[in-house]
Amino acid sequence: MPHPGTPRALLLALILCSPVFAGDWPQWRGPNLNGFTDAAGLPDKLDPATNLVWSMPLPGQVSASPVVAGGKVFVSTIDDNQKLLAICLDDQTGKPLWQKQIGSAFDSNERNNQGSPSPVTDGKNVWFYFGSGDLAAFDAAGKPLWSRNIQKDYGEFQIKWLYASSPLLFDGKLYVQVLHSGDDSYLLAIDPLTGKTLWKQARTNDAIAESRESYATPIPASPNGKPEVVLIGGDAVTAHDAETGRELWRVTGYNARKNAQWRSIASVLPIDGMIIACAPQRGPVLGIQDGPDTASARVAWSTQQITSDVCVPLAMDHSAYVLLGERRKLVCIDPTTGKQKWSGSLPSDSVFRASPTGADGKIYCISESGDAFVLAADHFQILSQTSLGGSPCHASIAVADGKVFVRTGDKIYAFARK
Peptide bond preceding 392: is omega within 30 degrees of 0, i.e. cis? yes
Whether the CB-CB separation of 68 and 114 falls below 8 Å is answered with no
Q: What are 11-41's pLDDT values in tens digits?
A: 434 433 444 555 899 999 999 999 999 999 9
Q: Which residue has the higher pLDDT, 282 or 168?
A: 168
Q: How far apart are CA 216 and CA 233, in angstroms?
A: 8
Q: What are 291-330's pLDDT values in tens digits?
A: 888 888 999 999 999 999 999 999 999 999 999 999 999 9
Helix (H) or strand (E) holding 151: helix 150-154
> What's the pLDDT score for residue 21?
54
Q: Which amino acid is at 243?
A: E
Mean pLDDT taken over the chain: 93
Q: Average of pLDDT values for 151-175?
A: 96
Q: How far apart are CA 112 and CA 170, in angstroms?
A: 27
Q: What are 103-135's pLDDT values in tens digits?
A: 998 777 767 888 899 999 999 999 999 999 999
* pTM for the predicted model, two decimal places: 0.93
What are the structural domains of the chain? 8-415 (2.140.10.10)
Cα 159–Cα 297–Cα 333 angle in degrees, nearest 5: 80
User: Nearest Cα to 323, choosing from 301, 346, 349?
Assistant: 346
For 55, 76, 77, 245, the CA distances from 88, given in Å and listed in that order, are 14, 9, 11, 32
In what side-by-side order are the strands of the sheet with 329-333? 314-316, 319-324, 329-333, 340-345
For the chain, the residue count is 418
Q: Average of pLDDT values for 197-206?
A: 97
Q: How far apart are CA 167 and CA 189, in angstroms?
A: 10
Own/partner pairs, 153-156, CB within 8 angstroms, 24+ separation: 153/197, 154/178, 154/184, 154/186, 154/188, 154/200, 155/182, 155/184, 156/182
Q: Phi-psi region for residue 282, left (φ > 0), alpha (ψ -120 to 50) or beta?
A: left
Residue 243 CB partners (closer than 8 Å, separation 6+): 171, 227
Q: How far apart are CA 71 and CA 69, in angstroms?
A: 6
The β-bridge relationship of strands 382-387 and 398-400 is unpaired
Q: What are 377-399's pLDDT values in tens digits?
A: 999 999 999 999 999 999 999 99
Whether the CB-CB separation of 171 and 223 falls below 8 Å is answered with no
**DSSP string for 355-396:** PPEEETTEEEEE-TT-EEEEEESSS--EEEEEE---S---PP
